[in-house]
Amino acid sequence: MFELIITFLFILIIFNLINTLCVNKHLFIDLTFQQDHKNLTNKHKVPITGGILIILSLIFLFLEINYINKFLFTLIFLLGLLSDTNKLSSPKVRFYIQILIIIIYLILNETYINEIKIYYVDNHILKFFLFKIIFTLFCLLVLINGSNFIDGVNTLNSGYYFIVFLNILFISQNDLIFLETYNLKILLIVLSVFLLSNIFSKSFLGDSGSYILSFYAGVFLIDLFNQNSYISPYYIVILLWYPAFENLFTLTRRLIFEKNKIKVADNLHLHHLLFKYLNKKFNNNMVNTYSGLIINSFNFIIIFIANNYIYETKKLVFILALSILIYLVTYFYLKKK
């Protein structure tokens, strides 16, 4: 415990130094404070330093990550940073580069989704190497870009992954899965430090933070399942359901109802609608943060319940379906309002 406290204080000091430097030197400043869900809290320029903290911790503090993987994680971070700084503004180009980096990582590490507990898919599709690559690539792309979608209000993205990793630590401490927890504890400390700043709009994740956090989470959880294949894959799905469903739902909604606006930035995500609803009710500087905390409170409950059924696919599928139903009912209620 003492070592964890020292690590927390060390990371906190380093992060504050990075933030101060970026503000004073006008480096990596958020360029989206004009957006309607940010301008209430972000009237001052805020540095996008969450991703910097995560990638530095991954490179220098995490154990048993080889240099090639550290390089690939750095590439996905830099891709997001180029987006944050408007050096690479084309979503299509960023998407293609994401594909290239992910495929290289999957092949080098043999990190694949091998089963989804559907007999035909497992025995006639995922047994082929090419389909494993394509399916795993698809899932990671949905997760990474969905995580970028939810990075719109304070604490939502980073808080969500904090909940995910905290629950993984919880079930590992109860001997429900086999897992070396050192890197997990470091990541939870890193996210705790970032959340202390993000909750008051002193730092943002940005695309760089969203990319590296979700990419690491995705490959980490695939490896976790492959090492503990007696658990249900739908437990992993529930851990990552919210950013993934946000992406799939948004794409479906826009393709069906907003084809003429498909290339325009979208402010009709669940967190946007919740922010607007709360802002009309309360109109104070913490509404941005309240929006993230409310959504994550729901996700915490869902994941905590799922922890009791990590081996039971049918119950997990029911929990997943219920989560999606609640999301949809809430979404259309808020949109109507």
Please answer whether residues 133 and 106 qualify as being in contact, where contact means their C-beta atoms are separated by less than 8 angstroms: yes
Task: Tell me the mean pLDDT in the region 90-105.
Answer: 96
Residue 39's pLDDT is 47
Please answer whether residues 327 and 270 qualify as being in contact, where contact means their C-beta atoms are separated by less than 8 angstroms: yes
Task: Tell me the mean pLDDT in the region 300-319.
Answer: 96
User: What tokens does 272 get?
Assistant: 């946007």
3-state class (DSSP) for residue 128: coil
Rg, Å, the chain Cα set: 19
Residue 36's pLDDT is 46
Per-residue pLDDT band for 262 (boundaries 50, 70, 90) equals: low
Which of 175, 148, 169, 140 lies closest to 304, judged by CA?
Answer: 169
Q: Where are the domains of the chain?
A: 2-336
pTM for this entry: 0.94
- Kindly tell me if the per-residue pLDDT of 230 is higher than 50: yes
- Kindly tell me if the per-residue pLDDT of 264 is higher than 70: no
**CA distances (Å), 10 to each of 53, 64, 65, 190, 231, in order?**
12, 21, 21, 10, 36
Compute φ and ψ for 101, nearest 5 degrees: -65, -45
pLDDT digits (tens, 9 = 90+) for 13-58: 999 999 999 999 889 998 764 444 444 444 568 999 999 999 999 9
Residue 3's pLDDT is 87
Measured in residues, the chain has a length of 337
- Kindly tell me if the per-residue pLDDT of 10 is higher than 90: yes
Which residue is it, tokens 């081996």? 311
Percentage above 90 pLDDT, the chain: 79
Which of 148, 153, 185 lies closest to 51, judged by CA?
Answer: 148
pLDDT digits (tens, 9 = 90+) for 121-154: 999 899 999 999 999 999 999 999 999 999 989 9
3-state class (DSSP) for residue 284: coil
- Kindly tell me if the per-residue pLDDT of 214 is higher than 70: yes
Angle, in degrees to the nearest 10, between helices 129-150 and 241-257:
80
Residue 174's pLDDT is 83
Please answer whether residues 79 and 98 qualify as being in contact, where contact means their C-beta atoms are separated by less than 8 angstroms: yes
214 CA to centre of own chain: 4
Residue 283's pLDDT is 75
Task: Tell me the mean pLDDT in the region 208-227.
Answer: 97
User: What tokens does 84 get?
Assistant: 């944050």
- Kindly tell me if the per-residue pLDDT of 319 is higher than 60: yes
Residue 44's pLDDT is 67
Residue 265's pLDDT is 64
User: What tokens does 124 get?
Assistant: 């006639």
Which residue is it, tokens 């290239």? 100
Which residue is it, tokens 């993984």? 168
Residue 32's pLDDT is 62
Residue 73's pLDDT is 98
Burial class (CB in 10 A: 0-12, 13-18, 19+), 48: buried
Please answer whether residues 50 and 206 qualify as being in contact, where contact means their C-beta atoms are separated by less than 8 angstroms: yes
